Structure 1
Amino acid sequence: MHESNRIELKRELTDTLEKEVVAFLNYRDGGVIYIGVDDKTQATLGIADADALQLKIKDRIKNNISPSTMGLFDVIAETRDGQKIIKITVASGSEKPYYLSRMGMSAKGCYIRIGSASEPMPVRMIKELFGRRIRNSIGTIKSRKQTLSFEQLKIYYNETPLKLNEQFAHNLELLTEDGAYNYAAYLLSDVNGLSIKVAKYADADRVNLVENEEYGYCSLVKATKAVLEKLKVENKTFARITPGKREQRKLLDPVALREAVINAIIHNNYSNEVPPKFELFFDRLEITSAGGLPAGFDEEEFFMGYSVPQNKELMRVFRDLDMVEQLGSGVPRILEHYPRSIYHFTPNFIRLVLPYAEGYDQATQETTQETTQETTQETTQETTQEKILTLLKSQPSITRKALAEKLGMSSDGVKYHLEKMRAAGIIQHVGSTKAGHWEILK
């Protein structure tokens, strides 16, 4: 491990820490700072009282750098050569230029990484970066509603060592500069207009829609957990019996699946109110999120795991709730199980196509999840079959075509569910096709 454009080594915590962090925030790839490692010999020196040092570093980065760095850095303790060291991971910020608060936005306050050094930023570059600073972020857009509640978010925080106090909206950066709730607050509030769709098709195309579930109109954290549970249920185990053994494998790698879902939701561009979309096909899962690669970011940097959080406010909350681990770890984890070719980039969208496991007989598939339909009920979502039952109760003579129109599904998709419900003894059709009616048995 040597110093480079992305790595800084320090024997101990020094007064120049903020300068190095600012330089990495302003650098397109971010970087990593190790404390407790000799910058000349690369020898591990170690540090004393890692816990106290971590807290001190977090406070300095949070309080001494502008604009806000929340959600843009990680501070963790690692063991190297039997000794404790500190690793600070810094993402490239989206609100460049970053600067030392006490020096202001000047050549004495703004730095950028050049080679293995942190150099003062030229005034011309400071002006150019400030002119390009992203203003349409979820942190600066004012929420359309200002009467917001956060009971769901508080429940999730109460399950962690962190608790939300009366200043939580300010601490989590859920307010605009004039003190109004921003769009991040709107997304995390108990009631909002965002709904994440999970669609399921019978074949390999979008012709026969079997299910069309919506998870949303609630805190984005709750909606995310609901989507994760739904896809966990769909991620069935395929079995193949061979001489002497029985092989089992999931449709999709569970770790990669979780990372893909979280990434799509956290990094989605919500400025146009377009949520991410999840589509299950006969042979694959497609995940589409709004917003292409960040400006100045290429595909190679994306695949290497360099992090430019699109919504640092969401990143902060998801990390607080242990739904996200280290910065930049998501894509590399996915690529441990799938090739780069699963990603498809356009200027306005990123689509991830996860193929199902091959070589396993679908006739012998079995679901091993303990999760049942109660998961959906707990998240206040109706399953497609529950929606059908509701319609049959109120309109016993309703036709299959009318059901399809009300549910936004294909006629074949409705037929699929009706046949499953009849086979399960839930419903029966009495009389002729045209003049008959439906009866609910249980």
Structure 2
Amino acid sequence: MDIYESESIELKEVYTPEVKKEVVAFANKNGGTIYIGIKDNGKITGLENPDFVMQQISNAVRDSIRPDVSMFTNIELVMKESKSIIKIIIQQGTKKPYYLTEKGLKPSGVYVRSGTTSAPASEEAIRMMIKMTDGESFENNRSLFQDLTFESLNREMELRQLECSQVQMKNLGILTEDDIFTNLGLLVSDQCKHSIKFAVFQGTDKLVFKDRKELTGSIFDQLTDAFKTVNFYNSTKATFHELLRSDERDYPEDAVREALLNAIVHREYAFSGSTIINLYSDRLEIISLGGLVSGMSLEAAMLGASQPRNEKLASLFYRMKLIEAYGTGISKMMSCYKALHVQPKFENVEGAFRVILPNIHAQEVNIVEEKYLPILKLFEAQKEITRNDVEETLGVGTTQAVNVIKEMLNKDLIKKVGSGRLTRYVLK
């Protein structure tokens, strides 16, 4: 019986390490058979030391391919034309994608059978295999990135006197039983691919831009950095009742904390976009991707109903005492504004959820912004302005322009650079 190469048959005259690639390709597709000791043209050459070659193949399959594909692989010694050849039968695996350990879970390590060759799989094909095997839950899926470190996670766990051993990482869902990092592992790793984009605007719209940052790293680092950044811009206003002084922040710190936690724990990480934080003079907006989970209405969420999208991530945050209980975030934000003249708003649309925390002192801020807005808008087209620019923009004389500039300097809206005839003003 003649044997020829096909989509399900691969012929090798001698054993080479490349056989591992063929095993991976067959396991990732519909299975197949590899013959060693037969030329590409079907001529049987045989093997001089088949027992040794069988041991090499067995070791390579066991040690060089992940997840373990041994149970789907059968290695046989057969005789054809009085010559010894090796027949490797590979069944379609149930834990796709299989990959070469040394290359990792990426196109250079994942192969699929295509015609008579084994070709690298695309990233999209790898994602589809992962989703078909692991299910729809993003956090449970195996991560495409396996070279991960966990300095931030270890630091956070140590602060709370919690264990972060390999066994514990498996219990938390960071590692699979096959020692493969999940997407939850990717999120809490130092190499997390998602980010938070923070922007500050002068006024109540996006016309005048003041500052921008992108917060990266582990989601624990992102949470800490986001809170610190908002806190930096969260001004304090002092009020006096007779001799008693009371300090009040523009945004209640507990409300900011809950809004940030909600955005990180409940967003849809299958979307590659960033979580957005926009700070205006009258409000703080936090937009997370994904919206509420299917079947959960905004009204139900307002009542305290909860259905975590990322159950293991929420469980980890609960274990680390970052969240106290499920479904309490919105009510906590509301309680921070209790008896105040402004209230938080929550908006849910397909693909996104927005939390709007109003500035408690917004009315006072808006009056200030409106007065100086024509001058502030000059910075959209130029980095620096002069006194003459102010005179022309407001249609006033030198004295009035100087007074307005002094007011803006005192309110830390602008900063003076240079002196004399070279005096310029830039955004603070």
The residue aligned with 2:356 is 353
Q: How far does residue 211 in structure 1 lie from its aligned partner after superposition?
A: 0.5
Give the C-alpha shift of residue 137 in structure 1. 2.2
Deviation at 1:325, TM superposition (A): 1.1
- Is the 1:345–1:351 contact (alpha carbons within 8 Å) kept by the matching residues of 2? yes
Shift of 1:415: 7.2
CA shift in 2, pair 1:223/1:411, >3 Å: farther
**By how many angstroms is 1:422 displaced?**
9.3
In the other structure, the counterpart of 2:154 is 154
1:22-58 CA distances to partner (integer Å, 9 max, x unpaired)?
Answer: xxxxxxxxxxxxxxxxxxxxxxxxxxxxxxxxxxxxx
| Structure 1 residues 423 and 340: CA distance shift in structure 2, 3 A | closer
Matches within 5 A, 1:320-335: 320-335=319-334
Q: For residues 136 and 247 of structure 1, do their structure 2 counterparts lie closer, same or farther at Cα, with a shift above 3 Å needed?
A: same
Structure 2 CA distance, aligned partners of 1:355 and 1:413? 30
Q: Deviations along 1:145-172, whole A, 9 cap, x unmatched?
A: 1111112211111111212113233121
Pairs within 5 Å for 1:343-382? 343-358=346-361
Quote the Cα distance in structure 1 between the aligned partners of 2:420 and 2:176. Answer: 60
User: How far apart are the structure 1 equivalents of 2:343 and 2:413?
Assistant: 41
Matched with 1:213 is: 213
Aligned position for 2:285: 286
Deviation of the 1:238 alpha carbon: 1.3
Give the letter for the 2:315 counterpart: R
How many pairs are equivalent? 256
The CA deviation string for residues 347-388 of structure 1, in whole angstroms up to 9 with x for no partner, is 11111111101378559x9xxxxxxxxxxxxxxxxxxxxxxx
- CA distance 1:312–1:431, change in 2 (3 Å): farther
Rounded to whole Å, the distance in 1 between the matches of 2:176 and 2:274 is: 22
Question: What is aligned with 1:381?
Answer: none
Give 1:229 deviation, angstroms.
1.4
Helix, strand or coil at the partner of 1:148: coil
Deviation at 1:197, TM superposition (A): 1.2
**Is the contact made by 2:251 and 2:360 (CA closer than 8 Å) also made in structure 1?**
yes
1:23-172 counterparts in 2 under 5 A? 135-172=135-172
Q: Is the 8 A contact 1:136 1:271 kept in 2?
A: no
SS at match of 2:336: coil
Q: After TM superposition, give the deviation of residue 193 of structure 1 in Å.
A: 2.6
Q: For the residues of structure 2 that align with 1:180 and 1:261, how far apart are their CA atoms?
A: 29
Contact 2:282-2:362 at 8 Å conserved across structures: no
Work out whether residues 286 and 352 of structure 1, in 8 Å CA contact, stay in contact via their aligned partners in 2.
Answer: yes
Q: Distance in 2 between matches of 1:327 and 1:301?
A: 13
Q: CA deviation at 1:414?
A: 7.7
The 3-state SS of whatever aligns with 1:209 is strand
Aligned partner of 2:183 in structure 1 is 183
Structure 1 residues 354, 414: CA separation in 2 closer, same or farther (over 3 Å shift)? farther
Q: Which residue of 2 aligns with 1:297?
A: 296
Structure 1 counterpart of 2:224: 225
Matched, 1:273 2:276: no
Q: Is the 8 A contact 2:143 2:183 kept in 1?
A: yes
CA distance in 2, matches of 1:277, 1:414: 28
Any conservation in 1 of the 2:282–2:365 contact (CA below 8 Å)?
A: no
In structure 1, C-alpha distance between the alignment counterparts of 2:226 and 2:261, rounded to whole Å:
10
Q: What residue ranges of structure 1 are gaps of 5+ in the alignment?
A: 1-133, 366-408, 437-442
1:348 maps to amino acid: G
Q: Name the aligned partner's letter for residue 262 of structure 2.
A: N
SS of equivalent residue, structure 2 residue 223: helix
- Equivalent position amino acid for 1:268 in 2: R
CA distance in 2, matches of 1:429, 1:345: 51
CA distance in 2, matches of 1:239, 1:180: 53
Superposed CA RMSD: 3.7
Q: How has the CA–CA distance of structure 1 residues 421 and 206 changed in structure 2, closer, same or farther, with 3 Å as cutoff?
A: closer
Counterpart of 2:203 in 1: which secondary structure? coil
Indicate the structure whose relative CO is greater, using CA pairs within 8 Å and at least 6 residues apart.
1
- Structure-2 separation of matches of 1:413 and 1:140: 48
Distance 1:204 1:421, change over 3 A: closer
The SS at the match of 2:305 is coil
Q: Flag the structure with larger Rg.
A: 2
Q: Is the 8 A contact 1:259 1:334 kept in 2?
A: yes
Partner of 2:233: 234
CA shift in 2, pair 1:340/1:228, >3 Å? same
Q: Is the 8 A contact 1:238 1:360 kept in 2?
A: no
Deviation at 1:219, TM superposition (A): 1.0
Aligned to 2:317: 318
- Cα shift at 1:245: 5.2
181 and 415 in structure 1: CA distance in 2 versus 1, 3 angstrom threshold: farther
CA displacement 1:230-255 (0-9 Å, x = unmatched): 11222221124566654432111121
In 2, Cα distance between equivalents of 1:246 and 1:148: 50
Q: Measure how far apart 1:413 and its partner are.
A: 7.2
Compute the TM-score of the two structures, normalised by the length of structure 2: 0.52
Partner of 2:345: 342
Instruction: Return 306-315 or 283-292, whichever deviates more.
Output: 306-315
Q: Distance between the aligned counterparts of 2:354 and 2:414, measured in 1?
A: 37
- Partners of 2:362 and 2:151 lie apart in 1 by 46
One-letter amino acid of the structure 2 residue matched with residue 283 of structure 1 = D
Tell me which amino acid in the other structure corresponds to 2:359: Y
